[in-house]
Structure 1
């Protein structure tokens, strides 16, 4: 059996913020067409690693997107292949929901060109997938935090990139819409999209295919979410304050008092 293609590879990556090194010689790979969740305690470097994968931070070492040096890639091509949903993403409150989602199509458009029929179809599909279609004529400022998050997710999905990076995508989402998000991720991976997400909710993160466990700016484990070794690594970085069990056919993280 041939080895799976790697959508993203990180080799000896170090990142310093405000003069302090926060990622230390990180080596990790993300398989194409799979969902990988990144977990770890606060300050582990999860969001920093994700921003390095997106090319949003100066790094020492190398990041490869489908075996191409990320920093050497044309910016437009990179934006077409790699979509990003960050924490506390901002957009003008005066913008219509439709226009916010259409921003995801910018990497595919020529300068000052009108949106194409494909652009319109991609935005409609993304807004319907995130259940934001009915708000398309409303301004972003009229929406709740959870509704805004769904619109920003639609913007990221409208890119139709091969790789999606999402930092705390479940912020402000109630449980039913968190389940919707899980279904959307599974739909994306079924279409061979690679998804990498940072999640605080360990129980939700266990639904992924693979997991990267971080602590103190280092990757301490990478493996399948169903593997016992992955469960032990997660329990260890959280100081045994959680335990992972199988409940009704699903892995869950239970707090330990």
Structure 2
């Protein structure tokens, strides 16, 4: 069974709070993220960014409903849910002995019957994903033998191979050098231009400001949610980092620059 997607809604959460064990990690949520847009989640270390993304992915229990395309996650058949939402976690472990090709091929599992071999369409999607992330030449190497950046691109290829309309990514730029960060940006923009949705946790504020919308998290709460080009968003971003960053326009892009802590005046000798 395939549930009809609600128009213009990707994921959302209505929650009274989220805890890990007895430790509260997120406060109340009333969040709806639109389809067909790229939302970047940013905030100081320990603010709750990754926790929020895990809640939206259904990987962490919260006190209230989480929705996918307007429907509660629990109403989605598991296979169809896996086809709708692709996940890339932070510093994922495992599968070290698998070839890069086989790791990316795992993204096709939601499209295969139980114990069925990969189809021609599965192999075509896997190759396209590895080529899009520029790791096709590494397809026969074990994941554990790759560099951090190469490994990250293989894991990104696994996400692409799912061919899901919604991507949730936690720190997808980890270990990537600037050229490959630019390649990632191109992949994201192409997906959104084709009607897809991206939600990504990012530490790189300059890259986050390339998104459509910014979701700012601080102290376990959503401090601001707005367009990246908005002056209100820029002020909220600076406030979230205690005025230690400033936002500037360079050409047609917004950049965030660190602000040094003022030095105390030198004491007279």
**C-alpha distance in 1, partners of 2:128/2:196?**
16
**C-alpha distance in 1, partners of 2:127/2:258?**
40
Q: Tell me which of 146, 149, 152 is aligned to 2:152.
A: 149
TM-score (norm 2): 0.92
**Residue matched to 1:254:** 257
TM-score (norm 1): 0.97
Cα-to-partner distance string for 1:206-227 (whole Å, 9 max, x where unaligned):
0000110111111111111000
**C-alpha distance in 1, partners of 2:61/2:7?**
28
**C-alpha distance in 1, partners of 2:8/2:196?**
12
**C-alpha distance in 1, partners of 2:109/2:213?**
31
Aligned-CA RMSD value: 1.2
**C-alpha distance in 1, partners of 2:214/2:245?**
16
Question: Which consecutive unaligned segments of at least 5 residues does structure 2 have?
Answer: 1-5, 261-269
**Residue matched to 2:164:** 161
**Residue matched to 1:39:** 42
Stretches of 4+ aligned residues off by more than 3 angstroms? none
> Aligned-pair distance for 1:4?
6.5
- The alignment covers a number of residue pairs equal to 255
**C-alpha distance in 2, partners of 1:166/1:9?**
16
Question: Which consecutive unaligned segments of at least 5 residues does structure 1 have?
Answer: none
**Residue matched to 1:101:** 104
> Aligned-pair distance for 1:13?
4.8
Cα-to-partner distance string for 1:146-168 (whole Å, 9 max, x where unaligned):
00000000001100111100000
**C-alpha distance in 1, partners of 2:146/2:243?**
39
**C-alpha distance in 2, partners of 1:79/1:38?**
22
**Residue matched to 1:245:** 248
**Aligned residue runs from structure 1 range 5-20, under 5 A:** 5-20=8-23
> Aligned-pair distance for 1:71?
2.4
Contact 1:104 1:155 in 2 (8 A): yes
